[in-house]
Structure 1
Amino acid sequence: MSERTIIDWPAWTVSAPGRYVLDWEQAQLDRVVSDIFGYHALQLGLPGLDALRENRMPYRGLVLDTASAASSPFTLPPPVSPDARPGVTSLPSASRGLHAPEGRSAVWCDLLDLPFEAQSVDLLVMPHTLEFTSDPHRLLREAERVLMPEGQLIILGFNSLSLWGARQSLGKVAGKPFVPSAHEMIAFTRIKDWIKLLGFDLERGRFGCYRPPLLTEQWLARYQFMEAAGDRWWPIFGAAYMITAIKRVRGMRLIGPRKLKKPALAPGLAPVAAPHTRNEH
């Protein structure tokens, strides 16, 4: 597929349908992440959406690769750092504000090979990240690896079983897609199957954005009545969805309050250190 058939995120996020979807997603995230606690929370990609702004964990990071950084509505300088390590580029503090909201740190790496220790993250948010990765299965496996037991995974995406999904399919055939997506939309049911195979328990799933795929704010406003109707009568056909899942470790039993040991991540979310070797006796 030609790169010209992929809509740029920055242009789409300021369009009427883009603002419509992102406003719904931001509202859902603000409500959900405020009640999730721990030490480390990460957002993978889509810097135009502040997925962690209502979360209160001590460390909240934004993880970017070249493709996800292109989704930012800002002009971003190339990642540079004099002490960069292989696979990861940490931005100088002076330029982090361009990549992450205030109070966040930005880390550049390959999203399919996250440079963080296993079982070191309490919350991982992937806003449309699976739709832009070349290997969604591998990305989900990485998410499962870095999440702590009982850690939470939040996935947002476009629903292929919707009017928006139908328009996207027809638009790609004609070379005029309606929403940004480097690959095909992934059905909600398929995502559920994938995360269950990885040992996650689905906590909740929610659909939203029931108005038709229209280009102008005026026409979208005319169909506002479809929000309440869709949520009641055809909830699985919303244009967007959000999935919240919990990582379960079978055979593990928690007795009493969970005592969290702070993972071995530096304040700037440094990459995982080289494994230590045991001393021979």
Structure 2
Amino acid sequence: MSENKNLKSQIPNLKSENWFASWFDTPYYHILYKERNYREAQIFMDNLTHYLNLPEKAKVLDLACGKGRHAIYLNQLGFDVIGADLSENSIAIASKNSNDTLHFQVHDMRLPFDDKFDAIFNLFTSFGYFENDDDNLKTLIAMKESLSEYGFGVIDFMNVNQVIANLIPEEVKTVDGIDFHIKRYYIDDHIYKEIDFKDNGNDFHFVEKVRALTLQDFAELMEQAGIYLLEVFGDYKLKKFHKTDSERLILFFK
């Protein structure tokens, strides 16, 4: 019997215009991306917290935390961490790691928190998903309102120039016996990823859609939000950002 036999019953039946509200809440999302580099993520967290010189037991928000891989490691570094995500399933999984200084909650990133944080991290291209571009501005304003007076925000986004130039149009990725047929394309200022697969006789189709925000786009949004862009880096080792070559667009602001 396939270990994925009962996965279809876990797919939420959401009538939502937001693709991420359903796709991120499925077990298949976590299957497809299960091989992400955890050590790379930890090195990034080490570099981030060292660069920001965060005080011991600083209050940190991991915004759009998924199953909490960054939040858990940040807590291991000694910080008081809240992980927040729209996906109830992801938060349920992450919450198994909760302790006195690590908590998880379901939260819409467009809304500010009652708490104030010394640092807010939005990591691994967890921005630009909304159908309405105004929601990107709302998210930045919510982040600003959730920061303490001396707090820092960090957005780790893809470098869209590099991604579009190196887009792989089609590939098949096999994980846990499932063949994920993936198509990628760029249209109308968005990068799309179509994901089709079959499991236990059932056909599935999901689409990831992310606004292709450039450094200039972020700079304009941050100016509107009243945020001060302090520094820009191009990879997880915090090397200088290069428009055409850098893998990431990492923005530090307050």
Aligned residue number for residue 172 of structure 1: 185
Unpaired segments of 5 or more residues in structure 1?
79-94, 210-226, 248-281
State percent identity of aligned pairs: 9
SS in 2 for 1:144: helix
Which residue is 2:222 aligned to?
Answer: 195
Q: Are residues 129 and 239 of structure 1, via their aligned partners in 2, closer, same or farther at CA, if it must alter by over 3 Å?
A: same
Displacement after TM superposition at 1:200 (Å):
2.9
Residue of structure 2 in register with 1:151 after alignment: 151
Q: CA deviation at 1:206?
A: 1.2
* TM-score, normalisation: structure 2: 0.59
Q: Is the 8 A contact 1:208 1:235 kept in 2?
A: no
Per-residue CA distance 1:58-107 (angstroms, 9 max, x = gap): 521101212xx56x4xxx659xxxxxxxxxxxxxxxx8225x68951011
For the 8 Å contact 1:44–1:126, the answer to whether it is kept is: yes
Measured at CA, do residues 235 and 96 of structure 1 come closer, stay the same or move farther in structure 2, by a change above 3 Å?
same
Is 1:43 aligned with 2:62? yes
239, 249, 253: which one aligns with 1:241: 249
Higher relative contact order (CA 8 A, sep 6+): 1
- Alpha-carbon contact 1:40-1:57 (below 8 Å) kept: no
What amino acid sits opposite 2:112 in the alignment?
A: L
Instruction: Tell me the residue number matched to 2:118.
Output: 122
Amino acid in structure 2 at the alignment position of 1:172: Y
Deviations 1:177-225 (A, max 9, x none): 289843323222211332233333333211138xxxxxxxxxxxxxxxx
Q: 1:111 aligns with which of 109, 113, 119?
A: 109
The structure that has the greater radius of gyration is 1
Report the Cα distance in structure 1 between the residues aligned to 2:245 and 2:69, rounded to whole angstroms. 25
Which residue of 160, 183, 203 corresponds with 2:210? 183
Structure 2 unmatched runs, 5+: 1-16, 170-182, 196-206
Following the alignment from structure 1 to structure 2, what is the Cα–Cα distance between the partners of residues 232 and 58? 27
Indicate conservation of the 8 Å contact 1:45/1:63, yes or no.
Answer: yes
Query: Which residue of the other structure, out of 84, 94, 104, is the alignment partner of 1:63?
Result: 84
CA contact (8 A) 1:207 1:236 kept: no
Match of 1:262 in 2: none
RMSD (CA atoms):
4.1
Deviation at 1:133, TM superposition (A): 4.0
Distance 2:241 2:140 in 1: 31
- The CA distance in 2 between the partners of 1:236 and 1:124, in whole Å, is 27
Moved more, 47-56 or 155-164: 47-56
Aligned partners of 2:241 and 2:249 also within 8 Å: no
Pairwise CA distance, 1:147: 0.8
User: Alignment partner of 1:131: what SS?
Assistant: coil
1:253 is matched with which residue?
Answer: none
Q: Quick one: distance in 2 between partners of 1:141 and 1:124?
A: 12
Partner of residue 92, structure 1:
none
1:1-281 map, 5 Å: 9-15=29-35, 18-19=36-37, 24-34=40-50, 35-37=53-55, 39-48=58-67, 50-52=69-71, 53-54=73-74, 59-66=80-87, 72=90, 77=92, 96-97=95-96, 103-117=101-115, 120-127=116-123, 128-134=125-131, 135-163=135-163, 167=167, 171-172=184-185, 177=193, 181-208=208-235, 236-245=244-253, 247=254
Q: For 1:243, give the aligned amino acid.
A: L
Shift of 1:156: 0.8
Distance 1:48 1:165 in 2: 30
**1:48/1:96 Cα in 2 relative to 1: closer, same or farther (>3 Å)?**
closer
- The alpha-carbon deviation at position 123 of structure 1 amounts to 0.8
Given the two structures, how large is their TM-score scaled by the length of structure 1?
Answer: 0.55
Larger relative strand fraction: 2
C-alpha change, 1:77 and 1:155, in structure 2 (3 Å) is closer
Provide closer, same or farther for how the CA distance between residues 121 and 165 of structure 1 changes in structure 2, counting only shifts above 3 A.
Answer: farther
How many residues align structurally?
196
